[in-house]
Structure 1
Amino acid sequence: MVLANNEKGRLMARWMKMRESNIAVGIYLICAAVVIAFSVSNAHVLMRAGGIADEVRAVDERDLVRNEVARQIEILARDQSQISHWDEAVRALISRIDWEFVREEMADWLWDDFGIQTTIVVGPDDAPRVMVFEDDIRTLAEAQSHVDLAFDLIVAARELYMAKRMPRGDRFTILSHPVRSRVQLYVSDFRMIDGDVNMIVAQAILPDDEETLPDGLPSVLLTLKPLTAAMIAEAGNKLGVSGVAVVPEGEVPAGAGALRVSRGEGANALYATWTPSHPSSVIWSEALPVLAGVVGLAILALGAVALLYGRALHRMQKSEARNRFLAHHDALTGLPNRLYFDRLLEDILSRGEQDSCAVLCIDLDRFKAVNDTYGHSAGDAVLRTVASRILAAVKGRGIAARVGGDEFIVLLHEGLGRDAVRLLCDGIVESICAEIEIEGGHASVGASIGVAWWPEDARTAKSVIRSADEALYRAKEDGRGRAYLADDEGAGGPDLEGRGPEQQDPGRRDPDERIAARVAPQTPR
């Protein structure tokens, strides 16, 4: 019997040893797999990060070039408006030509100060009346070819004037600045002239103060400024973009970044081109040595702790699951947090899962009174109740998150009509305003909401949140306890400026009465 028991013990011990050995081998294999997976995943991350960096840089370069092109055109239009938007020019260039004005103000000024090489005055009959090349007055025959080249711009500039002119007696004027106002009154393009790229701006000759224009088509000031190699090089250096050039469509280099800058298409199209940069190569050169060192350390560390890791595996899994939850959720309310919300929104927009969505920024009004009167435990109870009310209002139309002390945010992916969203916002405000029971009393808080739509109000996740936040700021500024949409004009538009809430909307109660942001103890019954 003893021998049998000893034999059974030896067999059990052998089995336990084999089991431990198998577990150790399994853990070593797992560690090896982890190292391999770590290496592969980091290599993949580097590749993906490099690809994203290249894509982002390509977009940034395109935006930089587009903005610089627009800036150069605006500079030319602004410089030209020194003449074209001036009472003196109306007196000197409309009814008759004042050649002294042409010599002193156009020939000597536009070329020397602004680098405008060619200036042409085109009359209402489409005929050139003045041509200045650099600081020299040229014949009208030389001007005709330029007028023919830019005739479509001349026509478009006249149409802008005719659409925006305002009567003054039996004559007409323009009340806004042709360049700095929201509705610009000039037309521009890039075109080839004698083998050189030129920026062209056409604008009606307009008064800036007392002068007026007769009925009919206006005279137009046409200016041409060559886009020199020095200007292009300076723009490229300023933007940090290499190889910048402006070339016809047929000369765009393969693999180059390209942006059409002319109105014309096909053979007449002009493109701004540049050499794309590739941040991915820098990422690899900087990160690869570090990755190799980290992998080596990981191999040593994992080999040393393999057995301990096996024992602690279950505890670690539970801990990691808890940490993952806490990393993406608010511990107080259980709602997703800012990190989770931002990532979700970015993913939805980047993957194109939605044609449209709306973001609601919600901020509690008078919440500080709860904390000041009853302490933070009461404030926590209010926040939990508010969170549940927001969830109940949103239901299956989207998700809600807590992003700050008394700040919440909602992403709507269903029911995105303006009326539906306004109705939802009103429901959220009303539910939050309802009385909240707390220990020893009750509290009433309010809410203000700002709403923005993607892609109508903004094109990126950050900018749509910013637009909603700005709308929230206007809602608070206008009295709180209400919702504002991103495209709402100020406090209801210019007609309502300086008026009280009752005057702006007779049916709307005073926000202090509506929200009643108070904290009052209950009287025991």
Structure 2
Amino acid sequence: MTELRRRYSDQSVKYSRQQISKLAFVLAGLLIAVTSVSLLFVGFVASHASRQQAIANEERLFQNTVDDRMRSIVREQITVASSDESVRKLVRSFDAAYARLSFDTLWSTYRHSKVMLISGNGDVIAESFEDYTHIISRPISEMPDLAQIHDKLKGVYLRNRVRVPGGFGHRTLQGIDPSEYAIMGFVKIDGRPALFGAMPIMPDEYETTLPDGPPTVLLSAHYIDDFMLAQLNGQLGFENFLFTGGAVEETDGPHHAVANQRGEPIGTFTWNSQTVGDSIWPTIIPVIVLLSLALGALAFGIAWRIGQLTSFLQASESQNRYLALHDSLSGLANRLQFNRVLETSVKNLPDKPFAVIHCDLDKFKAVNDTYGHAAGDTVIKTMAERLTKVIGKPGLVCRIGGDEFMVIYRGPVDSGNLESLSKALIAAGRQPIPLSEDVSANIGLSVGIAIAPQDGDTAEQLVTRSDAALYHSKKMGRGQFTTYADISEARDGPEDLLQRQASA
């Protein structure tokens, strides 16, 4: 009886262990299956989210680059469009020789592949084909895309037009974005897609005024050809960067569709996303196989892969955030970052006063004209390093375009410290900049300062008044510094000049 009980007991224990083992295998298999499916799901979601985020960041970077190029076209047009002589010879009367010379300047200096002059009554009276200018007369109604641009610019012009003795003028362009006085975008010209900018002809010294009526318009364009794509991609660094004309095609990859002013599709930019890593499936599948051998290896594999994906996403976001907030040439903060920091600084007033320092290089155009744009780039980068070194930790140095720099300075804003700082900046600008072993560029630096809150307690006021102080420094001979408190608003700036003339 005792032996039988022992055998029964042994069989019971043996059966229990088998059941537990079986249950453990079942639970382990179920756990592995659930974990494997979860890993597949996590891998799919992470891969999809990573791809979509990376594509969105690249598309934002592309949009910012195109916007900057459009603004550059308008700023380059100002050399011709904002001039008393242009008003006399292109608006008040038409001088064909002057038109040819002006168009040739935009081609030879900035490579504007197409330039058109549109009279106030809506006739194209001159157009260029690269370095050849044709004097014609044809109604713009024959070109609906250009007619739409001309109509839109009329409204913009009327908002900016001001009455002055003897006719009309235009409010100052200093300190305002080109989108406030110009039309920019994409258009088809002569059947070819192009990036364009259009602005009215206006006086700069107001010795000549504009007549009443619609504006005479200067339109410049860059065809979207291999040269333009290479220029854009020089800033972007995209792989297989292409432009395809025609209607927008559905694609799940990075792309940017463009249309004319009437909303009609022109074409699509496409490229291969470089911030999206290789497919994660070759890594996940071996890990899933290893789950059948060791549950611990699975946990380690999941943690490692998720950590890798997280690091990748953070690195990708950090890279794109840096590109969005920094100037690609100098490495300084760009206009977007400047505006954000300025708005934050204004919110901290009056507890934390600061200064806005507006700097502009003197004789910079001569460097480009004499030694080429590569030398100009060297000057910009060298001056960026010098200004950053002089300003130090209390300030943020920004490049807002061309040869213009702005500083948000949060150090002591007493007159003595700002005077010492300004002299140091000017001294840095006077130092020769080596361009080669035996050639150096000699430029200079003019400085305008607005102090918050006494000179203004809004971002717009501080930018405008630092610009007015800079204008005064330029006017007084360059290579100088001026604070806004040193000048009278009634004596500085084209807007005030218009007011004095209107009241005369």
Query: Contact 1:78–1:179 (CA<8 Å) still a contact in 2?
Result: no
Q: 1:213 to 1:57 in 2, by over 3 A?
A: same
Q: 1:208 to 1:261 in 2, by over 3 A?
A: farther
Q: 2:258 aligns with which of 258, 261, 272?
A: 261
1:127 equivalent to 2:118? Answer no
Query: Contact 2:153–2:182 (CA<8 Å) still a contact in 1?
Result: yes
1:83 equivalent to 2:75? Answer no
Query: Contact 1:188–1:202 (CA<8 Å) still a contact in 2?
Result: yes
SS at match of 2:133: strand
Instruction: Give the distance between the partners of 2:455 and 2:140, measured in 1 at CA.
Output: 57
State the partner residue of 1:273: 269
Deviation of residue 43 (structure 1)?
Answer: 2.0
Unaligned residue ranges in structure 2 (runs of 5+): 299-338, 353-449, 458-504
- 1:445-484 matched pairs, under 5 angstroms: 478-479=350-351
Instruction: Give the distance between the partners of 1:500 and 1:145, measured in 2 at CA.
Output: 47
Cα displacement string for residues 89-111 of structure 1 (whole angstroms, at most 9, x for unaligned residues): 2233221234443343x133111
State the partner residue of 1:154: 150
Deviation of residue 71 (structure 1)?
Answer: 2.9
Query: Contact 2:229–2:241 (CA<8 Å) still a contact in 1?
Result: no
State the partner residue of 1:118: 114
1:200 equivalent to 2:196? Answer yes
Q: 1:143 to 1:75 in 2, by over 3 A?
A: farther
Query: Contact 1:190–1:261 (CA<8 Å) still a contact in 2?
Result: yes
The code of the aligned residue for 2:114 comes to: T
State the partner residue of 1:245: 243
SS at match of 2:183: strand
- 1:206-217 matched pairs, under 5 angstroms: 206-211=202-207, 212-217=209-214
Instruction: Give the distance between the partners of 2:123 and 2:187, measured in 1 at CA.
Output: 21
Query: Contact 1:186–1:202 (CA<8 Å) still a contact in 2?
Result: yes
State the partner residue of 1:398: none
Of structures 1 and 2, the one with the larger relative CO (CA 8 A, separation 6+) is 2
Instruction: Give the distance between the partners of 1:210 and 1:79, measured in 2 at CA.
Output: 21
Q: 1:9 to 1:498 in 2, by over 3 A?
A: farther
State the partner residue of 1:287: 283
1:60 equivalent to 2:61? Answer no
1:139 equivalent to 2:135? Answer yes
Q: Normalized against structure 1, the TM-score is what? A: 0.50
Cα displacement string for residues 266-317 of structure 1 (whole angstroms, at most 9, x for unaligned residues): 7x42122315549778132552366257536625879xxxxxxxxxxxxxxx
SS at match of 1:94: helix
Q: 1:122 to 1:254 in 2, by over 3 A?
A: same
- 1:343-358 matched pairs, under 5 angstroms: none
- 1:503-514 matched pairs, under 5 angstroms: none
Query: Contact 1:62–1:257 (CA<8 Å) still a contact in 2?
Result: yes
Provide the aligned C-alpha RMSD in A: 4.3
State the partner residue of 1:95: 92
Deviation of residue 185 (structure 1)?
Answer: 1.1
Deviation of residue 475 (structure 1)?
Answer: 5.7
Deviation of residue 113 (structure 1)?
Answer: 1.5
Q: 1:92 to 1:147 in 2, by over 3 A?
A: farther
Cα displacement string for residues 55-81 of structure 1 (whole angstroms, at most 9, x for unaligned residues): 223323433343333233222222222
The code of the aligned residue for 1:75 comes to: S
State the partner residue of 1:506: none
Deviation of residue 257 (structure 1)?
Answer: 5.3
How many matched pairs?
319
1:22 equivalent to 2:3? Answer no
Instruction: Give the distance between the partners of 2:78 and 2:288, measured in 1 at CA.
Output: 61
Query: Contact 1:244–1:275 (CA<8 Å) still a contact in 2?
Result: yes
Q: 1:142 to 1:227 in 2, by over 3 A?
A: farther
SS at match of 2:79: helix
Cα displacement string for residues 395-443 of structure 1 (whole angstroms, at most 9, x for unaligned residues): xxxxxxxxxxxxxxxxxxxxxxxxxxxxxxxxxxxxxxxxxxxxxxxxx
Query: Contact 1:198–1:227 (CA<8 Å) still a contact in 2?
Result: yes
- 1:376-525 matched pairs, under 5 angstroms: 478-479=350-351, 497-498=453-454
1:47 equivalent to 2:58? Answer no
Instruction: Give the distance between the partners of 2:171 and 2:282, measured in 1 at CA.
Output: 58
SS at match of 1:139: strand
State the partner residue of 2:374: none
Query: Contact 1:57–1:279 (CA<8 Å) still a contact in 2?
Result: yes
Deviation of residue 163 (structure 1)?
Answer: 0.9
State the partner residue of 1:177: 173
SS at match of 2:115: strand
Q: 1:164 to 1:231 in 2, by over 3 A?
A: same
The code of the aligned residue for 2:158 comes to: M
State the partner residue of 2:356: none
Instruction: Give the distance between the partners of 1:184 and 1:470, measured in 2 at CA.
Output: 21
Deviation of residue 17 (structure 1)?
Answer: 5.4
Instruction: Give the distance between the partners of 2:13 and 2:349, measured in 1 at CA.
Output: 73
Q: 1:24 to 1:203 in 2, by over 3 A?
A: same
Q: 1:164 to 1:258 in 2, by over 3 A?
A: same
SS at match of 1:82: helix
Deviation of residue 159 (structure 1)?
Answer: 1.3
The code of the aligned residue for 2:69 comes to: Q
Instruction: Give the distance between the partners of 1:153 and 1:208, measured in 2 at CA.
Output: 24
SS at match of 2:232: helix
SS at match of 1:282: coil
SS at match of 1:124: coil
State the partner residue of 1:489: none
